Structure 1
Amino acid sequence: MARTAAALHILVKHQTLAEDIIKQLNKGAKFDVLAKKHSTCPSGKKGGSLGEFKKGQMVPQFDKVCFTGELITPHLVKTKFGWHVVKVLYRT
């Protein structure tokens, strides 16, 4: 079972914006550019990079996607912080 993961994310307040961001990514937009433009999380300045983190470090909904979701594919996740577009880079 994976113990760590690395992910990028973009945090926004509205589901419609998050869905639009996923459409842009699927059309070839760069994740880091969209993160810098739209993310309300401080990680947006770093292109959305959260670096590597351990299982259980993130809120449950976010953690679940990072440790079970498909790699590289953008995922839509709702947490108490808002709507996240999550791209899982790898797991160890």
Structure 2
Amino acid sequence: MARTAAALHILVKHEEKAKELLTQLEKGANFQTLAKKHSTCPSGKKGGSLGEFGKGDMVPAFDKAVFTGAILKPIGPVKTKFGFHIIKVLYRT
């Protein structure tokens, strides 16, 4: 079972916006470009990069999505107390 992961994410306030971004990603939009333009998280400036983190380091819903979702495919929207996330898991170890 994976203990660490690396991921990108886009954080927005509204589910509708998250769904719109997910649709754009599914049509081939660049994840990092959308993160820089739309994410309300400070990581947006880095293309949404959260770097590598351990299982349990993130809030539960986000953690579950990262450690059970598909790798290299957009996941979401995932609702947390911060808003709605679109997540792209880069790898798990």
TM-score under structure 2 length normalisation: 0.97
Query: CA shift at 1:75, angstroms?
Result: 1.1
CA distance in 2, matches of 1:33, 1:88: 16
* Aligned partner letter, 1:30: N
Q: Structure 1 segments of 4 or more deviating over 2 A?
A: none
Aligned to 1:84: 85
CA RMSD of aligned residues (A): 0.5
Instruction: Give 5+ residue unaligned stretches, structure 2.
Output: none
Aligned to 2:24: 24
CA distance in 2, matches of 1:10, 1:70: 16
- Percent of aligned pairs with the same amino acid: 72
Query: CA shift at 1:32, angstroms?
Result: 0.7
Aligned to 1:11: 11
65-74 vs 1-10, which deviates more? Answer: 65-74
CA distance in 2, matches of 1:3, 1:81: 23
3-state SS in 1 of match to 2:57? coil
Query: CA shift at 1:30, angstroms?
Result: 0.4
34-43 vs 67-76, which deviates more? Answer: 67-76
